[in-house]
Amino acid sequence: MKTSYREALRQALREALRNDPRVFLMGEDVGRYGGTYAVSKGFFEEFGPERIRDTPLSELGFVGAGVGAALGGMRPIVEVMTVNFSLLALDPIVNTAASLRHMSGGQFSVPLVVRMATGAGRQLAAQHSHSLENWYAHIPGIRVLAPATVADARGMLGPALADPDPVVIFEHAQLYNLEAELPDDWRCDITHAAIRRTGTQLTLITYGGSLPKALQAASDLAHDGMDVEVIDLRVLRPLDTATVAASVRKTHRAVLVDEGWKTGSLAAEIMARLMEDCFFDLDAPVARVCSEEVPIPYAKHLEDAALPQVAKIVAVVKGMLHV
pLDDT in tens, 291-305: 999 999 999 999 999
27 and 136 co-located in one domain? yes
* Residue 233 domain-assigned (yes or no): yes
- pLDDT for residue 228: 98
130 and 274 co-located in one domain? no
105 and 165 co-located in one domain? yes
- pLDDT for residue 323: 74
Domain count for the chain: 2
* Residue 81 domain-assigned (yes or no): yes
* Residue 188 domain-assigned (yes or no): no
> Angle formed by the axes of helices 266-278 and 241-251, to 10°?
60
Where in the sequence is the domain holding 95, given as residue range(s)?
Answer: 2-181
216 and 110 co-located in one domain? no
130 and 203 co-located in one domain? no
Determine if the pTM surpasses 0.95. Answer: yes
**Residues marked as catalytic:** 59, 128
CATH code, domain carrying 94: 3.40.50.970
108 and 204 co-located in one domain? no
3-state class (DSSP) for residue 173:
helix
Residues 6+ apart with CB under 8 A from 199: 218, 227, 228, 229, 230, 251
213 and 244 co-located in one domain? yes
C-beta neighbour count of 255 within 10 angstroms: 23
Q: How far apart are CA 237 and CA 15, in angstroms?
A: 25
- pLDDT for residue 1: 84
Per-residue pLDDT in tens (0 to 9) along the chain, 323 residues = 899 999 999 999 999 999 999 999 999 999 999 999 999 999 999 999 999 999 999 999 999 999 999 999 999 999 999 999 999 999 999 999 999 999 999 999 999 999 999 999 999 999 999 999 999 999 999 999 999 999 999 999 999 999 999 999 999 999 999 999 999 999 998 999 999 999 999 999 999 999 999 999 999 999 999 999 999 999 999 999 999 999 999 999 999 999 999 999 999 999 999 999 999 999 999 999 999 999 999 999 999 999 999 999 999 999 999 87
143 and 87 co-located in one domain? yes
Residues 6+ apart with CB under 8 A from 232: 148, 149, 193, 194, 195, 196, 206, 207, 211
Domain final residue, candidates 181, 205, 234: 181
Mark out the alpha helices in the chain (DSSP H runs): 5-19, 43-47, 59-71, 83-86, 90, 100-103, 133-137, 150-155, 157-162, 211-223, 241-251, 266-278, 300-306, 310-320
Domain final residue, candidates 158, 181, 204: 181
* Residue 308 domain-assigned (yes or no): yes
315 and 202 co-located in one domain? yes
Structural contact between residues 78 and 62, judged by C-beta atoms closer than 8 angstroms: yes
What distances in angstroms separate CA 276 from CA 9, 103, 273, one per listed residue? 37, 31, 5
* Residue 297 domain-assigned (yes or no): yes
Domain final residue, candidates 156, 181, 206: 181
Nearest to 131 by CA among 273, 303, 316: 303
CATH code, domain carrying 262: 3.40.50.920
Q: How far apart are CA 293 and CA 41, in angstroms?
A: 36
* Residue 187 domain-assigned (yes or no): no
282 and 167 co-located in one domain? no
Phi, psi of 321 (to 5 degrees): -90, 5
Nearest to 187 by CA among 145, 158, 148: 158
82 and 42 co-located in one domain? yes
8 and 140 co-located in one domain? yes
What are 20-35's pLDDT values in tens digits?
999 999 999 999 999 9
3-state class (DSSP) for residue 291:
strand
* Residue 186 domain-assigned (yes or no): no
